[in-house]
Structure formats: C-alpha cells, structure tokens
Amino acid sequence: MNTMYQKRRADLVTWMARKSISVVLLEDTEGRREKAIRYFSGHPGDALLAITVTGHAVLCPWDINLAERMSDVDVVIPYSDFGRHPVTAAAGIIESIGVPANSRIEIPGHTPYPLFLQYVGTLLEHVVLCRETEGVFEEISRMRSIKDESEIAIIESACALTDTIINLLEKQIRSGKIKTELDAAMFIEHTARESGADGTGFETLAAGSDRSYSIHPVPAYTNAKIGTTGLSILDFGIMIGGYTSDVTLTLACGKINPTQEKLIGLVEKAYAAAILKYTPGTLTREASLAADAVFKRSKKSMPHALGHGIGLEPHEGPAIRNRIENEWVFEPGMVVTLEPGLYDPLHGGCRLENDILITEEGNRVLTNSRIIRI
Amino acid sequence: MNTMYQKRRADLVTWMARKSISVVLLEDTEGRREKAIRYFSGHPGDALLAITVTGHAVLCPWDINLAERMSDVDVVIPYSDFGRHPVTAAAGIIESIGVPANSRIEIPGHTPYPLFLQYVGTLLEHVVLCRETEGVFEEISRMRSIKDESEIAIIESACALTDTIINLLEKQIRSGKIKTELDAAMFIEHTARESGADGTGFETLAAGSDRSYSIHPVPAYTNAKIGTTGLSILDFGIMIGGYTSDVTLTLACGKINPTQEKLIGLVEKAYAAAILKYTPGTLTREASLAADAVFKRSKKSMPHALGHGIGLEPHEGPAIRNRIENEWVFEPGMVVTLEPGLYDPLHGGCRLENDILITEEGNRVLTNSRIIRI
C-alpha cells in the first residue's frame, strides 16, 4: 500500500506539519512546467495537485483518461469541473476537504504575480504563501535533488543506454554512416525509442564545426555536415520512465589548429580539476571555482554553469555554479552533470559532459562521454 | 534601415507612449519562455530585452556569439556582465540609458511573485508594473496574433511542407513502410530538416489505436504499431524560421466499430459547423460554442479548446475556447488552428486539425489534414 509516491508525500507532509503549512498546491501548465506533480503522484503533468497536512492528495488533471492510468492519489477530479482554472480548482478542493480558516496555503513559487493576486483575492479566509526560497518549493527541490533507490536504478539504466548510443555514434561517424547533424540526432532518437526508452530528454543539440561556437545552436540540428575538420558538439539525454541523462561529446576531427587544441586541453584540465570536488559535503560552488581557475589562468571564461542535477527534469537541483549565493552542497544520492565548455566564435566550441552519482565515499561517473579524435 | 524588427518595436513604442510606459522588459529563460524577444529582436531566446519609449533596444543575451549573428538591436551587452540575473541586468540597463525617476517600467506578466518583489525592491525610484491583462503583454499578444506579410509568407511555406509530409505519410502508411509511431515521428522530423525546415515545432504526438484515448499521450511516441485496427492519431507541426504549423491527422483503419464511427462523424460535423464562424469580426468563442453544440446533442464534450493562434509559439493568441471571459475576435491576418476532438478510454480518440488564415473575406485553410481511412 505504501507506494513510492505515498512515501514521498509522507516525507513532504512531515515537513509541512513542522512548518504549519496546511495545503501545498502544485501546478503544471504550458509555459510553467512542474515535474513535482509526477514526483508526488505519478501523473505526468497538465494538472493541479493538492497535498494536505493530513496526508490527503487530490489531483485535478486535464487528461482524465491518462490520470486514471498513471496517477496514484486519493482523489481525482477532472480539471474541467473547475473550468480548468487553477484558482477555481484550488478554492473548490480546499472547500471540499474542509480546511480550517486562517490556514497557511502555499502556492507554487513560480506563480506569476497577477495570478498570485487572484489566489489571494479568492482564498480570502486563508494565508497564501508564495516563496522562491525557504518555502515548500525549496524543500521539494532539496528532496528531489537526492534520488532514492528506485530513481538511481532508473537513471543508471538511462545512462547505460546513453553509453551504448555514444559508442554506436562513434562507430557510425568513423565509418561515415552518420554524416550530418540530422543523421546523428535521428540515430539517437530512433535507437532510444526502439530500445524502449521514452525518447530523448530534451531536444538533441548537434552542431557541426561551423556551428559549435554556440552553446545552444539554433536550430538545434540541421542537415549540415558533422564530424568535418574542426570541433563538432553533440549534447543529448536519454529518458526512461520520465528520468533523463544528459551528456555532451566533442568530436575533434582532422587537423585541429592550435586555438582548438588549447580549448580541448583547457576543458579536459577543468574537468579533471572539478571532479575532485564532486564529493559529499563539498559546496558545489567550489567545484565551479576549480574549473573557473583553470580557465582564468589562460584568460578564458566559461559562459555557462559547470553543471546541475538531473532527474525528472534535464536541469534541476543542485545548481553547480560560481554565484556567491549558491549554497548547494554535494550529498550522497545526488545525480549531477559536470560539463565544462569553451566557445570561440571563429574556431568553434568544445564541451565535455558526464553524469555523476555522488556516493558516501566520493562519486561514481555513470556515463562515458568523451572528446573523440577522428 | 527600417527592418521588420525595428518596425515592430516602433509599433510597440507608439503604444508605450500612449500609455506612459518608459521601459518594457522582456525575459526569456528556462521554464519561462518568451518568444516576444525573437519577435522584436531576431534573437531566439535566453536573454533579457529592454525596449524604451525613446525607441532604444538593449539585448542582454546568454549566448553572445549567437546574438551577434542573429539579433537586430541597438546595443548588445553580455548577460554575464550582470551576473546573469534579470533584476541586476534591468537595473544596469535602466541606469545606463538614464531613465528619469518615477518612470513606469513594465516587467513580464509571467514574472513569478518572488521575482516581482525583487524588481520592486531594486527599481526603487520607479513604478514597476506587472500585468496579465490590460498591460503591455496583452498588447504584445494582440500584435503577435495578427501576422504581417513576412510572417504569413513563412507560415505558408511551413504549411506547404506540412501538406507534402501529410501526403507522404499517407502513402507510406498505406504501403506499410511506416509501421510504428516511431517510424512516423522520425519520418516527419527527418523530412522536415532535410527540406531545410528548423524541424518540428513541438514534440510530435503519434498514438496508435491503443493510445489514442489520450489527448497528449505519454510518451509522445513509442515503438508501438500505428495504423492498426481502430483510431490512430498523428499531431505535429513543421517549423521554418521559428514559425510552426500545427496539424492533426486521424487514421481510421480496418473495421471501425459504431462507437468509433460516431466519434469520427461528430468530429467532422463539429469541424464543419465551427469553420463557418472563422470569419473576421466574429468572437472566437462563438466558433467554440458551435462545435460544443454539435457534441452536446450527442451528450459528448470536448476536453480541450477548439483552437489557438500559431506563430513563433505552437500556442499563442488568439484563444479559441468557450470560456465566458474569452473576448478574442477573429481578425484578418490571424493564423489559427481548428481542432475538434473526442476521446474514448476504450475505443480511442479522433481529432482533426488544420491551420487557417483569417482573411478580409472570410478564411483560407492553409493545410490539408484529414481523417484518413485505411
């Protein structure tokens, strides 16, 4: 009876009781995705989920057929019963479960200000909280950053398939079977789904040597050649059961010029320096600073963060970046990326990214992405 | 010198002057996408864009290399100069351009409440506005809902390629070359990019007869068979130059049972009734009610909106739905979808969706999606 969803909700409820929060509302809608709904209920999204301090979970899904197959909650009420409006639904649920007046109700930290005003104006008998930090959403982010056994198992399977695909990609690029960005992206997607994965966890980025100067090229992949002289980048993730991996390969092909060699060498050095800091109890910021220091010595700087957690989202907690306000600490059970990169507008870019499980003893690298010389 | 981006900004500035708004800030970030940045600057995203009533446009992009190639603005400042924080960047830009005290500054309507508080706490000398309705974001949505000539031309090319792909899909499903949801989705993506399109405008939904009960199946496509006995659904869009089409085919294969025939008949009837209302000057709500009336007579109801605008986003203004507060009116230059659908948990679903340009005289259907009997 105690499913993993019920266990996660029970953990949240313990926290809510300590903080005197009566109801937490989660909303997933177009433009504001909230994977915590899937985390706590199994339902993939487009829904409102209310969790009460008494341990009651009510789901209002947009797609009721899907909810009946995928969700594990106490009550499912069609969103259409409330005109598909989150505030109306919230008020209806709160009335139906008999929440006492003056209760503290926490709404999503990403609630737009105009919508926040509607909540406040509707839930007049209650105290409406909407916090980015120190509230329930920070707590959920913390909970989700530390994966349980079932999550680690599923991510390991996504990473294993990712490695299989990396090896096949290398083989097919060397043999000339994969010639274009499009070939590479299609091969990844096809192999993933054929193997029973959900697909890719985000749009694959495939940038031939003419486009790898960009961190995230637009379009993400084209019919242009990949693996021609210079630096090509492949950034992708394989999703299984809603959880995604996230890796980046750089292909260094043909005659690499000294500027490009320099980029490769620095990225490898930064990677080696940073991974030493991927240990439990270390501030993630320290890992970021270790990579920055390598680049700084060569008067370079990285235009993006060093890494991030992965899970139901391709980017989730912990943040691994150099901002002074970043106070995340590596903890056992976190699954994170390490992805130093440098980009030159003329000579292209180089990024190396792997997925790493933080363990009691240190870390375990789950993927085998690399800089491939062809 | 007067590019289309400059022209769009000039139109916005006229409105700002009338409403005494000194600066409009647009932000595109992960989790809160804002295609208006591309609309006004050419830059695809991950950026802050400030437009002043004096006609000045300042872009703070995350990817400076990309901005230098794609953006058309007065000034580009790397986001990293402001620690990649929107509030810091906003304050810096406002100081650098010398906005007088007590100016009205409008921030994005989707700004989360906690971030809104940071803006207010930082831009202390100014009046910070954040409005969902009646503010600049409603005005931008209105502007974007009416496509200019260059936009219509690009959408027409996306729709033409969509039709080519629909015809090829039908042929290859009939011949048995496309057997699975995966085959169909890969074929669409590959053909699109090979033809020079950006790709698909959103994740293709391909649901064989066992999964078409869901409006948006999860995963979006799998290795399961498509086009087997019963109802299969294919929902996809082709993106060119950032603009996407959006169509849905239903495949009715083999022996269709009376329940399924009923769904098909009702969807076709609702489509026929609604399109008569796709005319300039008509409330979009009336089209929605016309479809609802058809379903209601058979005691059915549609679990989603009848349609929406398409453009830089797969869903944008106008809304075409039955909510009483929906006051959108069809206007010449709007490009919208018409997509009635019904879904049965046992017998599967049927949806028919085409893209329609509203003209001075009425409308012009830009795509040729259909219910295909195999």
Give me the pLDDT at residue A148, please: 95
Q: What stretch of H or E contains A47?
A: strand A47-52
**Structural domains present in chain B:** 4-144 (3.40.350.10), 146-373 (3.90.230.10)
Give me the pLDDT at residue B39, please: 97
Mean pLDDT of the A75-104 span: 93
**How far is the C-alpha of B250 from the C-alpha of B184, rounded, in Å?**
13
pLDDT single digits (tens) A298-321: 999 998 999 999 999 999 999 999
Q: How far is A349 from chain B (nearest CA, A)?
A: 11
Mean pLDDT of the A345-374 span: 97
DSSP B110-140: T-BHHHHHHHHHH-TTSEEE--SSSSHHHHH
B167 in contact with A at a CB cutoff of 8 Å? no
Q: Measured between alpha carbons, how far is residue A145 from residues A157, A284, A325, B30, B66 in Å?
A: 18, 13, 18, 18, 32
Q: How far is B171 from chain A (nearest CA, A)?
A: 21
Q: Which residues of chain A make contact with B42, given a CB cutoff of 8 A? A: none
**pLDDT band (50, 70, 90) for residue A1:** very low
Which structure tokens are listed for B295?
Answer: 């379903």
A300 in contact with B at a CB cutoff of 8 Å? no
pTM, 2 dp: 0.91
The yes-or-no verdict on residue A65 having pLDDT over 90 is no
DSSP B37-105: HHHHHS--SSEEEEEETTS-EEEEES-HHHHHHH---SEE--GGGGTT-HHHHHHHHHHHTTPPTT-EE
Residue of B nearest to A28 (CA): B31
Beta strand A205-207 with A199-200 is unpaired
Mean pLDDT of the B214-227 span: 90
Contact A142, A113 (CB under 8 A): no
- In sign, the C-alpha dihedral spanning B292, B295, B297, B300 is negative
Q: How far is B360 from chain A (nearest CA, A)?
A: 32
**How far is the C-alpha of A306 from the C-alpha of A328, rounded, in Å?**
13
**How far is the C-alpha of A220 from the C-alpha of A229, rounded, in Å?**
20
Give me the pLDDT at residue B135, please: 92
Q: Measured between alpha carbons, how far is residue A133 from residues A62, A138, A141, B115 in Å?
A: 29, 6, 10, 11
Q: Which residues of chain B make contact with A68, given a CB cutoff of 8 A? A: 345
Give me the pLDDT at residue A2, please: 63
Polymer length of chain A: 374
**How far is the C-alpha of B51 from the C-alpha of B57, rounded, in Å?**
5
Q: What percent of chain A has pLDDT over 70?
A: 99
Q: How many CB pairs under 8 A join A and B?
A: 130
Mean pLDDT of the A320-349 span: 96
Give me the pLDDT at residue A209, please: 96
Q: Return the closest-CA partner of residue B142 out of B246, B39, B38.
A: B39
Q: Measured between alpha carbons, how far is residue B333 from residues B8, B246, B280, B309, B357 in Å?
A: 15, 17, 9, 11, 6
pLDDT single digits (tens) A229-262: 999 999 999 999 999 999 999 999 999 999 999 9
pLDDT single digits (tens) B36-51: 999 999 999 999 999 9
**pLDDT band (50, 70, 90) for residue B166:** very high
B124 in contact with A at a CB cutoff of 8 Å? no
Question: Residue B200: beta bridge partners?
Answer: B238
Residues with Cβ within 8 Å of residue A335, at least 6 apart in sequence: A147, A151, A152, A155, A309, A310, A311, A355, A356, A357, A358, A366
Q: What stretch of H or E contains A166?
A: helix A149-174
**pLDDT band (50, 70, 90) for residue A218:** confident
Contact B90, B119 (CB under 8 A): yes
A32 in contact with B at a CB cutoff of 8 Å? yes
Angle among Cα A351, B48, A216 to the nearest 5 degrees reads 20
Q: What stretch of H or E contains A253?
A: strand A247-253
Mean pLDDT of the B72-84 span: 92
* Category of B41 on φ-ψ map: left (φ > 0), alpha (ψ -120 to 50) or beta: alpha
Amino acid occupying residue A148: D
A220 in contact with B at a CB cutoff of 8 Å? yes
Q: Return the closest-CA partner of residue B79 out of A317, A323, A294.
A: A323
Comparison of pLDDT for A95 and A1, the residue scoring more = A95
Cis peptide before B219 (omega within 30 of 0): yes
Give me the pLDDT at residue A132, please: 86
Q: Return the closest-CA partner of residue A227 out of A246, A250, A248.
A: A250
Q: Which of A181, A193, A222 to mutate to test the interface with B (most CBs of B within 10 A)?
A: A193
Give me the pLDDT at residue A247, please: 98
| Residue appearing with tokens 């800089």 | A371
pLDDT single digits (tens) B326-337: 999 999 999 999
The yes-or-no verdict on residue B311 having pLDDT over 60 is yes
Q: How far is B231 from chain A (nearest CA, A)?
A: 16
ipTM: 0.87
pLDDT single digits (tens) B167-192: 999 999 999 999 999 999 999 999 99
**pLDDT band (50, 70, 90) for residue B2:** low
